[in-house]
A and B are shown apart, each in its own frame.
Chain A
C-alpha cells in the first residue's frame, strides 16, 4: 500500500513537472521567435549614417579596392564621402558615360565589410535600381523581417549641374 502511494506521488510530481516544463518551453519558444525590430532599424540607420559621414581618404590604404579605384582614376576626390562617391558612380552609369555597375557592387561590398554582420542579408538601391545585394538565407520576398532606411543623395558634378536628389535605400532583412 505504501509502495503504491509512493508511486502515485512520483507519477503526480512527474506530471506536474511536465506541465511546468512544457509551459516554459511554449512560453520561451513563442517569445524568442518574435524578431526584434529595434536593433535592425538601428543597424540600417547606422549604416546609412556611416555612408553619409565617412570620407574616403582614411580608407585609401595600399592594396585595398579603394586604393585601386583611386589609382585607376575612378575615384578622383578623396574628400568625397562614401555616399557622395557612390552617387557619382551612379551618375556616371545613369548618364551613360560609363558602365559602373561592377564598380558599384564591389565598392559597396568593400565599404560594408564588418559593418553589416554576415548573418544579415542586405541590399542597396539607388532610385530603385539595385546596386548590391548580400543574401544570407532568405530571399527578400521570404523575409521574416525587413527594415528599409531611405536617405537623400545628391552630388554636384560641376559648376552648372547637380545630380539628384535621388533616393538611397538600404534594406536589411532576416
Chain B
C-alpha cells in the first residue's frame, strides 16, 4: 500500500515538473511577443526621415521655383522696359526692382511687375509648404533671407542665389536649416532690351548652338544672321548690361546682327547689334590711321540690299572673326 502511494506521488511530481517547464517556456516566449520598451524608436526614426526628406525636397523645389519665377520676373521687367522705353540705369535699380518683383510681384511699392500673378517665389514656396502640411501633416515655415543676382558661369544664364531658412516643427523633431540655393535662369526666349529701347524692331534672345568649339566661319555668320541668333562674345554686351543700358564690354557678353534689309544705314555702320543701335560708327576708309574700318560682306549668302545696293556691313574685328580672306568690299571710295 505504502509502495503504491509512493509511486503515485512520483507521478504527481513528474506531472508538476512538466507543468513547471511548460509555464517556464510560456513565460520566456511570451516575453518576446510583448513590445520592447523602445518599440516606438523605429516609428520615430521613420518620421524623422520623412521630415528630413521633406527638407531636402523643399530646397530642391526652391531651386526649380527660383528658376521659373526668375524667368517670369525677367519677362515682367522687360515688359516694363517695353512700356517705358527706358533702361534700368539708375544705381541698383535693376537689382532692387528685380528681386522685389521676384518676392512680391511688384517692381516698387507703387508699380506692379507685369506677368507675375501666381508666379512669385513665395507663391511657389507657400504651395509646397501648404501641400505638405495637408498631405503629410508636416508644419513648416520658411524665410527668404536674401536674393542675389550674378553672372559668373554662362553668357546665356543669370545665376540667382537665394539664402533661405526652413523651420520644421513636429512632435518628434524640430529641424532648422539655412541654405544658399543657386539657380541658373536661362535668358533664352527673352526679348532683348537693347532692341526694345534703341531698335526699330524687337528680337528675342536665341543662343546659337551649332558651334561650341573651333573657329567661326562664313556659314556660322549666315546661320547666326538668318536665325536671328546670338553668340557669346567676349567684348559683347551682357544681358544684364543690356537691361541696365550699360554698354561696357563683358566676358559674358552676347551679340547678334541687325537685319540689314529692315534698317537704314550708311557706309560707317557695323551691323553688330550693340554698335548699330547705339549709332557707333567706324571709318569706311582704309587710309585712315585711327579706329576700326567697316567693310561690306560680299559673299553669296549676303546679297546686296535691293533698294540701295548696300552690302551687309561689319567692322574689321567682326569680319576677321568669320571671314579669313576675301569676300569683302569697301563701303566708300578709298583715296
By the criterion CB–CB under 8 Å, are B53 and A151 in contact? yes
Q: A8-B11, A12-B14, A16-B15 are in contact. Are A156 and B136 (CB under 8 A)?
A: no
CB distance from B183 to the nearest CB of A (A): 10
Beyond contacts A20-B21, A28-B29, A45-B49: 7 other A-B pairs, Cβ-Cβ < 8 A, are: A12-B14, A27-B29, A30-B33, A38-B42, A41-B42, A154-B64, A165-B127
Task: Verify A152–B72 contact, CB threshold 8 A.
Answer: no
Is the Cβ of A13 less than 8 Å from the Cβ of B14? yes
| Tally of chain A residues near chain B (CB < 8 A) | 32
Q: Separation in Å of the B58 CB from the closest CB of chain A?
A: 8
Nearest 4 pairs of A and B residues by beta carbon: A16-B18, A27-B29, A23-B22, A152-B57
Rounded to whole angstroms, the CA-CA distance of A160 and B67 in the bound complex is 8
Interface of A is mostly: helix
In the complex, which residues 138-168 of chain A have their Cβ closer than 8 Å to any Cβ of chain B?
Answer: 150-152, 154, 156, 159-162, 165, 167
CA distance A13 to B21 in the complex (A): 13
Q: Beta-carbon contacts of B1-39 to A below 8 Å, as 1s and 0s? A: 000000110110011011101100110011011000000
> Bound state CA distance, A17 and B61, in angstroms?
66
Q: Which residues of A contact B54 (CB under 8 A)?
A: 152
User: Does B11 lie within 8 Å of A9, measured CB to CB?
Assistant: yes
| Best-surrounded residue of B8, B42, B64, B135 (most CB of chain A within 10 A) | B135
Q: Which residues of the partner chain A approach B136 to less than 8 Å between Cβ atoms?
A: 150, 167
A24–B26 Cα gap in the complex (Å)? 7
* Residue in B7, B21, B188 whose CB lies within 8 Å of A5: B7
Task: State whether the Cβ of B131 lies closer than 8 Å to any Cβ in chain A.
Answer: yes
**Chain B contacts for A109, CB-based, 8 A:** none
Residues of B within 8 A of A45 (CB): 46, 49
Given A12-B15, A15-B15, A41-B46, A162:B64 Cβ within 8 A? yes
Partner of A16, one of B10, B17, B25, B26: B17
Q: Complex: how many Å from CA A41 to CA B186?
A: 41
Q: Does A69 contact B (CB under 8 A)?
A: no
Q: Which residues of B contact A5 (CB under 8 A)?
A: 7
Q: Which residue on A lies nearest to B10, using beta carbons?
A: A9
Residues of B within 8 Å of A31, CB to CB, are 29, 32-33
Q: Is the CB of A159 within 8 A of B71?
A: yes
* Contact, CB under 8 Å: B68 / A19: no
| CB-contact partner of B68 in A13, A24, A34, A161, under 8 A | A161
Complex Cα–Cα for A8 and B19 (A):
17
Q: Contact between A152 and B30 (Cβ–Cβ < 8 Å)?
A: no
The 8 Å CB contact of B18, one of A19, A24, A34, is A19
Q: Which residues of B contact A38 (CB under 8 A)?
A: 42
Known A-B contacts A9-B14, A165-B132; the reply to A156 vs B29 at CB < 8 A is no
* Residues of chain B with a CB closer than 8 A to A20's CB: 18, 21-22, 25
Q: Which of A1-57 contact B (CB under 8 A)?
A: 5, 8-9, 12-13, 15-17, 19-20, 23-24, 27-28, 30-31, 34, 37-38, 41, 45
Assess the B14–A16 pair: CB atoms within 8 A. yes
Instruction: Known A8-B11, A12-B14; judge A152-B49 contact (CB<8 A).
Output: no
Q: Which residues of A contact B15 (CB under 8 A)?
A: 12, 15-16
CB-CB under 8 A for A12 and B11, given A19-B18, A24-B25: yes
Q: In the assembly, what is the distance between CA of A27 and CA of B50, in Å? A: 36
Cα distance A165–B138 when bound, in Å? 14
By a CB distance below 8 angstroms, the chain A residues around B30 are 27
A23 partner residues in chain B, CB cutoff 8 A: 22, 25-26
B71 — which chain A residues lie within 8 A by C-beta?
A: 159-160
CA gap between A99 and B189 in the complex, in Å: 29
Query: How far in angstroms is the closest Cβ of chain A from B30?
Result: 7
What is the minimal beta-carbon distance from B148 to any residue of chain A, in angstroms? 20
| Interface contact B67-A159, CB-CB below 8 Å | yes
Contacts of A16 in B (CB 8 A): 14-15, 17-19
Q: Is the CB of B132 within 8 A of A152?
A: yes
